[in-house]
Every structure is written in structure tokens, then in C-alpha cells.
Amino acid sequence: MNSDNTWTIVSVPSRAWAERVFAPETGNRAMELLWDAIFKVTRMNEPDPIQAWRKHIDTLGQKADELMLIISNTCAIKAATVRI
């Protein structure tokens, strides 16, 4: 795969989507809740969304490192207890 063609996929909030996600809310209230959720998960409601994303990415990296350490230690313990 090369970068000859650039693709972008965009999901557009709709009333049907909002009402499905936020049932039993309907109409404008459901749309308002959907937009609030979108702004929250994209960090657009933060004073500095770019900095909020950087912090989130750093946190994910730290959590990944912690999980890898747990996995590594678990594998080492299992290897030490295996008898051949």
C-alpha cells in the first residue's frame, strides 16, 4: 500500500443515531447529548484539546508499559514453574 490516495472517513451525527444511543431521549435533546459525547471523547471541550490529546497519548504509553511489565513477569513466573 502506498500513499497515492488519501482516505478520510467521517461519521455524521444524525437524529436516528442520537436517539438510538441515548434512548429514551428523542429529538433535539438526543442530538444535544450525542454532540456533548462527541466533544468529550474528542477532547474538544478541553481548554487546550491538543495538549489534552498529548497527555492522553502519554498516559496510554505508560499503561502499555505497565501491562508489558505484568505480562513479562507473568511469563517469567510461568517459565520458572514449568518442569520438563
C-alpha cell at 55: 497527555
Q: What value does the mean pLDDT take over residues 2-7?
A: 77
Q: What value does the mean pLDDT take over residues 60-64?
A: 95
Instruction: Look at residue 78 in the predicted model and tell me its pLDDT.
Output: 65
Share of the chain above pLDDT 70, in %: 88
How does 13-51 read in b/e, with b if 16+ C-beta sit within 10 Å?
eeeeebbeebeeeeeeebbeebeeeeeeeeeeeeeeeee
Instruction: Look at residue 84 in the predicted model and tell me its pLDDT.
Output: 56
On the question of pLDDT at 66 being above 90, the answer is yes
Tens digit of pLDDT for each residue in 32-52?
A: 999 999 999 999 999 999 999
**Residue 13, H or E segment:** none
Q: Using pLDDT thresholds of 50, 70 and 90, give the confidence band for residue 4.
A: confident
On the question of pLDDT at 1 being above 70, the answer is no
